[in-house]
Structure 1
Amino acid sequence: MHTVTLIPGDGIGPEVTAAAVEVIAAAGIKINWEIADMGITALEKYGTPLPDEAIASVKKNKFALKGPVTTPVGKGFRSVNVGLRQALNLYANLRPVKSFPGIPSPFSSVDLVVVRENTEDLYAGVEHNIGNVAAEAVKIITKEASNRIARFAFQYALEHRRKKVTAVHKANILKLSDGLFLNTCQAAARDYPDIEFSDRIIDALCMDLVLAPHKYDVLVLPNLYGDIVSDLCAGLVGGLGLVPGANIGTEGAVFEAVHGSAPDIAGKGIANPTALMLCAAMLLDQLGETTAAEKIRRGIEQVIEEKIALTRDLGGSSSTREFTEAICRAIV
């Protein structure tokens, strides 16, 4: 039996994590879940949103399934997600983006992967005030981190039979920082001759993605660009509620939905758990339970395509519970 850390989070987090746990069980996989608190619930209990106990649990178990947590805007505590990634050196953020038949979206048959460097860039959080008239943030790009994420992207492409990796940057303006990222990706590409390599300036890429996303396969980006582009890509297939994510390091991985905690609908039983269910499938892949992972994906696709039970954001009227039960039936 596998032991995995379960982080329910806050807002709708406990509801969607419960649904994900249920579909894993329906797929026939037994997991010993070790519960760990993060976010607002942890702040109330431990006096910190990212307690050492939770970090220790993930370090021990190597894998975690995590619900969304609230991050205050412009005040309050720092992002728990950023802190967790840095504490565990989860250097690669992986977000597969794939169209769902039956979901209205700008494009059909989108199938691309966003690989985002997770530990540095402006998200390193090195910022300070300049008197009371300005603020300054430091953009940190290192050769080591750039090489690590580039090789992660190429290796992922190789292992998943992807054909092309595109490095995304603004090296025409940021010649030293983004220039270093681009040059490092170009050097890594030489070790993967079977994978086509290209690069694209970030603003041009964004235009391309809303005009012709099928041009791209695997995108590798520095932290800030990756954060923005991954949400843009989610919009191409119907929204954040349909896209999974994983934060992967050398010693473990945390699987989490890319959407927020949606406190305005928490406890109402109407949240869409699809994204975290897909995260659960990614977790099972990492655990070697690939057959069960595919069962979950097929079950979700069937329920959505046949409109068996859709939550409100998907155009239906079903509750989180009804949607989850329908997927469990489809899995079996």
Structure 2
Amino acid sequence: MNRKTVAVLPGDGIGPEVLDAALPVIEALGLPIDLEFGDIGWECWRAEGTPVPDRTWDLIDRSDAVLLGATTSKPRREALAELAPELRAAAPQYISPIIQLRQRLDLFANLRPVENYLGGGTPYRFCVVRENTEGLYAGLDWNHLPDEMWPLVAEHPNVRRSGRAGSTASIRLQTAHGLDRILRFAFETARGHGYERVTLADKPNVLRQSSAYVLERLEAIGSDYPEIPFEVLNVDAVALWMARRPERFGVIVAENMFGDILSDLGGGVMGGLGLAPSANIGEAGNYFEPVHGSAPAMAGRGRANPAAAFLTIGLMLAHLGFQDEAGRIQDAVRHVTRRRDRVTYDLGGAATTTEAARAVIDACREVPHTPTAAIVTIGDELLRGDLEDSNAGNASRMLGARGIPVRVRHTIGDDEATIADAIRPSLGRDDVIVVMGGLGPTSDDVTRSAVARALGRPLEHREEAWQGVVARLTRFGVAIHDDNRRQALFAAGADLLPNPHGTAWGCRTEAQGSTVIMLPGPPRECLPMLESVLRDGLPHLPEPPEVTTVFRRTLGIIEADAAALVDELVRDSGVPGKPAYRWHYPYVDIRLGCPPEAADDLAKRLDAALADHIVTDRDRTAVQELAELLDAHALGLTVDDRLTEGLFASEVARERATADGSGALDVALSGVWDGGDRTTHTGTLALTCTVQDETGEHTSTLTVPNRGPEVATYATEFAAWSLARHLTGRRTLTEESA
């Protein structure tokens, strides 16, 4: 394919930063496109008296497409005030660069695709096609009525009350030329992009005469596209159904003002203007622009969402003939926004513009990602606490072993709407959604209909499952009731999962890129079924990468301080992975998953960063570690632990496997309260552990919050930790001297 030239006009505000972040996707996709940068916008106006210099028009004229970042416009008075002093005297007229581009290039069609990139709910995909050159934005707008118009409005009762000086008017201009080309563009868009319907959004019940002519032109143009149905709806009804049922639309076409309003509503439907791309197509050129505007208050803060810029580049690539690459960008944005692990603040994340853009480019390059799962367990008895929700924990462990960590778990009662609402947000966001429980024959078993509702599919009877129910009940001499028939109902298109241990068969199905697995509730039935699916039924998911977990249990450091140290350590190491922290009094556990070849280096870094706080690299307490050391060296203890009233001595004795040996160690544990005491739990407790042996006296100290009676547990674990460190150090010295 011949090389293409794209004129890149970064513009104002956040325009330059979102394009800087997104444009590397062109190189990442290996496209034969040359980027030439030009000037446009407010700084051009201030310095040169025009927002679109002649050199920029020359660049546009020799380019195959124009990619615009964003431009700022201000009222005439402010525009003149910001001009360079030598230009202000001439009082040039400020005309928005957007208006200039549309007029000079005759860009009659504005295209705004709207798609469910965030996932969840019913899938939708439609676009708004707006006519750019006429309608109420044709410029036929008067502050003072011209003489020719006065006779047309003079008899209106409000005009008679207000007088000529107090009346204004605008004309909605619509022509055969303008209507025919925008309607034909709408039908061509539907045909070329697989949209099933064209909807004209107008106001025929009020604007009866002009709307009647629009309908004539719609019928004439529509006759050339017999395979595409069309309709006319009131624009207010279109707005309502865009918000309530966006999946019913294909191409919505409207005159300028109606289209302007509906296209921004489309941005809101899809999650905000940070996701909204646009294209302006005309007789003499084109330009492609993210919809979010220049947003000057956000400029330079690194918070702008680059997704709209990526989707806009995708529109441009499709226009230039690179359809496959455009599709890859759309898929990448869909993947990143549904994962939401590297998205900007407007989508609920904390990523910078650059970080979010890098996530999209990585996805375009098909950088492997870690799949995620959601678990929904169902039953009023779980919410009441009548039964422990063991299924959720077991399923989490099984999914984790398959390399699919669980992102979210829900426990839901037997309510169809609530179950469906719990499933929908994970559709398209999580690779696997496991729904467990509520598949019995009784009226409160509503999971089947809830799953079908979430998927937007009808329930259908599956004879194979019904025969399985009948055979099992017959085998055990159990009566068959009509209610048992609901156990043969499944969402349309689902693959059945036989249940060898019960009558409630399960199923699995694909929806919006997620695998939905519906299983019965009894653990004896659902867990073997889930194991089978995870083993044989997820070929589309990659095998889990080999991961080594580096584990450290720490004492004497709060979770926030540990996380600050470890997060920085992981960032500096460049090793992919996400640290996990668990606080359980008095410990903070740290887990780092990493490639096996990086584990030793990462462990050394972790030990250096947390040297004064590490208790063990095993899932054991300090008391357990101490008991093992005492047993290994046949050591006994002489303990003064009045501080814990004997808790330390009894805990150590309970963990030991053998009786106390010879070579006793003298241990003294004491504490000083500051701001509280043994019964008034405020302030702090300064702990001191002193060990006396043949090598001398060794002391450790630690100050902890006096938060409650459990501070005795902290003192016990601190004393065990201090003594274990002393014994380990003594053993190391002995080994070195030997």
Normalised by the length of structure 2, the TM-score is 0.43
Is 2:92 the partner of 1:90? no
Q: What per-residue deviation string (whole Å, max 9, x for no partner) do you get for residues 176-203 of structure 1?
A: 4333323211211111111001111111
Corresponding residue number in structure 2 for 1:101: 118
Structure 2 partner of 1:115: 129
Residue 128 of structure 2 aligns to a residue whose secondary structure is: strand
**Alpha-carbon distance, 1:132 to partner:** 6.0
Partner of 1:303: 336
Tell me, yes or no, if structure 1 residue 216 matches structure 2 residue 233.
Answer: no
The verdict on how the C-alpha distance between 1:279 and 1:200 changes in structure 2, with shifts beyond 3 A counting, is same
Letter in 1 for 2:245: A
The 5 A counterparts of 1:57-68 are: 57-68=59-70
In 1, Cα distance between equivalents of 2:183 and 2:64? 23
Residue of structure 1 in register with 2:239 after alignment: 206
Query: Structure 1 residues 60, 138: closer, same or farther in 2, change over 3 A?
Result: farther
What secondary structure sits across from 1:64 in the alignment? strand
**Contact 1:240–1:275, Cα closer than 8 Å, also in 2:** yes
Q: Give the match's secondary structure for 1:180.
A: helix
Would you say 1:277 and 2:310 are equivalent positions? yes
Q: Of the candidates 36, 39, 53, which is equivalent to residue 37 of structure 1?
A: 39
Residue among 54, 57, 80 paired with 2:97: 80
2:67 and 2:288 in contact (8 A); partners too = yes
**Residues 207-244 of structure 1: CA distance to partner in whole angstroms, max 9, x if unpaired?**
22222222211111111111100111111110111121
* Letter aligned with residue 287 of structure 2: V
SS at the partner of 1:114?
A: strand
1:70 aligns with 2:46: no
Q: Which has the larger radius of gyration?
A: 2
Equivalent-residue separation in structure 1 for 2:54 and 2:134 (angstroms)? 22
Structure-to-structure mapping, 1:227-306, within 5 angstroms: 227-306=260-339
Q: Which moved more, 1:67-76 or 1:120-129?
A: 67-76
Letter in 1 for 2:107: L
Give the distance between the partners of 2:96 and 2:210, measured in 1 at CA: 24
Name stretches of at least 5 consecutive residues in structure 1 with no aligned partner. Answer: none
Separation (CA, whole Å) in 1 of partners of 2:319 and 2:9 = 18
Stretch moving more, 238-247 or 78-87: 78-87
Query: What's the CA shift for 1:91?
Result: 0.9
Distance in 2, matches of 1:276 and 1:73, equals 27
Letter in 2 for 1:273: P
In structure 2, C-alpha distance between the alignment counterparts of 1:277 and 1:219, rounded to whole Å? 23
Contact 1:5 1:33 in 2 (8 A): yes
Shift of 1:291: 2.2
How far 1:173 sits from its partner (Å)?
2.1
> Does the Cα contact within 8 Å between 1:55 and 1:87 map onto a contact in 2?
no
Asked which structure has the greater RCO (Cα within 8 Å, sep 6+), the reply is: 1
Candidates 201, 206, 219, aligned match of 1:173 = 206
How far is the alpha carbon of 1:134 from its aligned partner? 4.1
Report the equivalent of 1:188.
221
- What is the alpha-carbon distance in structure 1 between the residues aligned to residue 52 and residue 165 of structure 2? 30
Runs of 4+ in 1 over 6 A off after TM superposition: none
Deviates more, 1:48-57 or 1:179-188: 48-57
Residue matched to 1:146: 179
Q: Secondary structure at the match of 1:225?
A: helix
**Maintained 8 Å contact 2:122/2:247:** no
- What is the CA–CA distance in structure 2 between the aligned matches of 1:42 and 1:123, rounded to whole Å? 26
Note if contact 2:190-2:196 (Cα within 8 Å) is conserved in structure 1: yes
**Identity in percent:** 40
Q: 2: distance between equivalents of 1:279 and 1:132?
A: 46
Structure 2 contact 52–97 (Cα < 8 Å) conserved:
yes
Give, in whole Å, the separation in 2 of the partners of 1:229 and 1:51: 32
| Distance of 1:243 and 1:237 partners within structure 2 | 8
The yes-or-no answer on 1:129 pairing with 2:162 is no
SS in 2 for 1:321: helix
| Counterpart secondary structure, 1:261 | coil
DSSP 3-state at the match of 1:67: strand
What's the secondary structure of 2:288's corresponding residue?
A: strand
For the residues of structure 2 that align with 1:45 and 1:312, how far apart are their CA atoms?
34
The code of the aligned residue for 1:56 comes to: D
**CA-to-partner distance for each residue in 1:24-77, whole Å, 9 max, x for gaps?**
221222422222222202212321123343233223213111111112268654
* Number of equivalences: 329
Segments of 5+ residues of structure 2 without an aligned counterpart are 80-93, 145-163, 366-738
1:19 aligns with 2:36: no
Distance 1:232 1:284 in 2: 25
CA contact (8 A) 1:19 1:277 kept: no
Q: Is 1:324 aligned to 2:357, yes or no?
A: yes
CA distance in 1, matches of 2:171, 2:57: 27
- Contact 2:118/2:270 (<8 A) preserved: no
Q: Distance in 2 between matches of 1:51 and 1:117?
A: 26
Question: 2:604 — aligned with what?
Answer: none
* Contact map agreement 1:59 1:88 (CA 8 A) in 2: no
